[in-house]
A and B are shown apart, each in its own frame.
Chain A
Amino acid sequence: MTNPAAAVASSRAHPDAATKAEATSPKPRRRRSIRRAWIGWLFIAPFGVVFLVFLVAPLLYAFYLSLFSKGLATGTVFSGLGNYVKAFSDPEFLGGVWFVIRFAVVLIPIQMAVSLAAALVLDSLTTRLAKFSRLAIFVPYAIPAVIGTLMWGFLYSPVFGPLTSIFGAFNQSAPDILSSGNIFGGLLNVVVWQWAGYYMIIIYAALRGIDPSVYEAARIDGANPRQIALRVKVPMISSALVLILVFALIGTLQFFTEPQVLKPIANGAITASFTPNIYAYNLAFQFSQFNYASTISFALGIVVFAAVYIFLFTTRKRRGGFSS
């Protein structure tokens, strides 16, 4: 934290005589703006250093490592983009990518539907129950993904969970959610549970920001509450929706924690290359293939960028969520 201190020192060293002199002559004003510019950089510098060291440097280093490959006989040799050719034809990597894309395509609409419906209902009610449910829906966001997944893992389990006795009461055998056929749905439920509240709060806050006179105008035009919700409210918060869709997409493509935590109890349903991140983790820490693991990480970054770009392009909201 030396930089803010430097900023203090510098502003003390040059007492603000310049500020007062600016009105009299143009020269000091220019000097002042140069000094200001320099101070602007000082404010940004501490973050800039962290940004360079922990974002730019790992990216460059990963790219550098990905250009080499390590063989038993050959040692480490430069292989150019060979690792990428290998990755994008590696059935394990492609299988993981295919899984996270499928997962995102199913997850995101469900999650949006739940959080949008909850936010719309909460926006139209002012009862105590509504206030309480707003908190109840949000609480899972405050819970670590590891703990959330552990809890659902227990609930899914035929030994600990309620499913066996619930289905037993109807003389049915409970489905094994942790089997390879059902794990998709099991993970889907964990993620919806964990994140729907966060998205709901963002949508809700955006809804509260709409000027209610708009609703009045719609009502005078004969719109019923449902039409107001779908034709007025939803379009007015579209930039919030695009923002959280992008967040959901980025988050889902990086899927790691939930499957990794369920893995020990899922009896082989979650493989070593279940998602690209799990694959990269196992390549690095089980098989010590650091060059190829870097390639997978970097390739995943490329996939995420491409997916986000395609998404923003197709929703034609390229400047929707983020603008400076």
Chain B
Amino acid sequence: MTAALVTPSSDGLTAARERSRELRRPKPRRNITAHIFLVALILYFLLPLWWLFVASTKDPQGLFTGTGGALWFDKNFSLWANLQELFTYKGGIYLRWLGNSALYSLVGGVGATVLAVLAGYGFAKYRFKGRDFSFAILLGSVMVPLTALVIPTFMLMSQLHLTNTIWAVILPSLLSPFGVYLMRVYAADAIPDELLDAARVDGSGEFRTFLRVGLPLMRPAVVTVLLLSVVGTWNNYFLPLAVLSDQNLYPVTVGLGGWQALAASNNGGGTSLYTLIVVGSLVSIIPLIIAFLSLQKYWQGGLSLGALK
């Protein structure tokens, strides 16, 4: 296959630009103001995370009247005890929520990505009647406020008796018009028509051409859309809040939101629940932060796609 040898021409171009950028730019001056500005930004953006980590190590007593103040550790370090309490509280319901979040976001995210890749490739590489019109509708739909669809979706689902099932969360998550848009823009540039024609002349069927030639060339965009849709589903709150009423089906966002409301309405009685909310929040963000940090070379390029065109 020639596919492996051919890379999108823009990659080589970016590398060349990068090189000439290094050459032409004057030696980086120690720009003090710029660095102070950056340090201020780092402090601001990491402050809540620091607080969350510190608070997770406190026992309920320390959370309220800690010896070190809100932003420093208490004399008692009880992170492990808190974690144990979190995972065993009410028969380990938190683990269940975490599992639900993983299920919804993986199935929803992978499904949305598969649909977006197929549709983006179809829009970019086939000419057919109605293509431009359907794509215009798709672009218009990027503007449709998706949360305004939540209540209508709920009512449609309840007609179909699908509310309070995992499908009520997963199926609507498959919709990603922006993913299709990104995929089309990327596929149009990254996959040369000549390469597809060459594969066809060699006797490769249309779908096999897509799998063997098109798909490998779309990989950076695929990772970006996958990451964005997995995170989007993991972070979703309004939709599961509306369509689920069984606590055992909650994703972690809805579960923690519910604990918060419970703790606030209980006032003093919710003391230990606050500890669980804090440590539960910490645990729930770790998978996403790891995913973003380990895949950064993909999404940093991919996110710009929509903006550059």
Contacting pair A142 B285 (CB below 8 A)? yes
With A145-B237, A150-B260, A300-B145: A294-B20 Cβ-Cβ less than 8 Å: no
Q: Separation in Å of the A142 CB from the closest CB of chain B? A: 4
Does B192 sit at the interface, judged by CB under 8 A? no
Does B161 sit at the interface, judged by CB under 8 A? no
Q: Is the interface of A mostly helix, strand, loop or mixed?
A: helix
Inter-chain CA distance A4–B209, complex, in Å, is 13
Collect the chain A residues with CB atoms within 8 Å of residue B208's CB.
8, 11
Contacting pair A297 B126 (CB below 8 A)? no
Inter-chain CA distance A193–B135, complex, in Å, is 34
Collect the chain B residues with CB atoms within 8 Å of residue A212's CB.
17, 20-21, 24-25
Does B78 sit at the interface, judged by CB under 8 A? no
Inter-chain CA distance A240–B309, complex, in Å, is 9
Collect the chain B residues with CB atoms within 8 Å of residue A284's CB.
151, 154, 242
Inter-chain CA distance A62–B155, complex, in Å, is 8
Collect the chain A residues with CB atoms within 8 Å of residue B274's CB.
160
Q: Separation in Å of the B27 CB from the closest CB of chain A? A: 10
Inter-chain CA distance A150–B200, complex, in Å, is 55
Contacting pair A151 B149 (CB below 8 A)? no
Contacting pair B64 A264 (CB below 8 A)? no
Does A254 sit at the interface, judged by CB under 8 A? yes
Contacting pair B148 A298 (CB below 8 A)? yes
Does A47 sit at the interface, judged by CB under 8 A? yes
Inter-chain CA distance A10–B208, complex, in Å, is 11
CB closest residue in chain B, given A251:
B145
Inter-chain CA distance A147–B56, complex, in Å, is 14
CB closest residue in chain A, given B254:
A146
Q: Separation in Å of the A258 CB from the closest CB of chain B? A: 10
CB closest residue in chain B, given A39:
B206
Q: Separation in Å of the A324 CB from the closest CB of chain B? A: 5
With A40-B131, A261-B257: A151-B52 Cβ-Cβ less than 8 Å: yes
Collect the chain B residues with CB atoms within 8 Å of residue A132's CB.
42
Collect the chain B residues with CB atoms within 8 Å of residue A206's CB.
304, 307-308
With A59-B144, A139-B49, A290-B155: A205-B307 Cβ-Cβ less than 8 Å: yes
Q: Separation in Å of the B13 CB from the closest CB of chain A? A: 9
Q: Is the interface of B mostly helix, strand, loop or mixed?
A: helix
> Which A residues, 139 to 159, have Cβ-Cβ distances below 8 Å to chain B?
139-148, 150-155, 159
With A58-B152, A155-B51: A139-B145 Cβ-Cβ less than 8 Å: no
Collect the chain B residues with CB atoms within 8 Å of residue A62's CB.
149, 151-152, 155
Contacting pair A46 B207 (CB below 8 A)? no
Inter-chain CA distance A202–B306, complex, in Å, is 9
Question: Mask for B188-203, Cβ within 8 A of A = 1, else 0?
Answer: 0000000000001101
Excluding A58-B156, A205-B301, A257-B238, 12 further A-B contacts by CB distance (< 8 Å) are A37-B129, A48-B119, A62-B149, A62-B151, A121-B37, A133-B42, A201-B303, A205-B300, A277-B150, A290-B151, A297-B148, A322-B142
- Give the interface of A toward B (CB within 8 A): 1, 4, 7-8, 10-12, 15-16, 19-20, 33, 36-44, 46-48, 50-51, 53-55, 57-59, 61-62, 65, 114, 117-118, 121-122, 124-127, 129-130, 132-133, 135-148, 150-155, 159-162, 165, 193, 196-198, 201-203, 205-206, 208-209, 211-213, 215-216, 237, 239-240, 243-244, 246, 250, 253-254, 256-257, 260-261, 263-265, 277, 280-281, 284-285, 290, 293-294, 297-298, 300-301, 304-305, 308, 321-324
Give the 5 A-B residue pairs with the shortest CB-CB distance, closest first. Answer: A205-B304, A43-B122, A40-B126, A11-B205, A37-B128
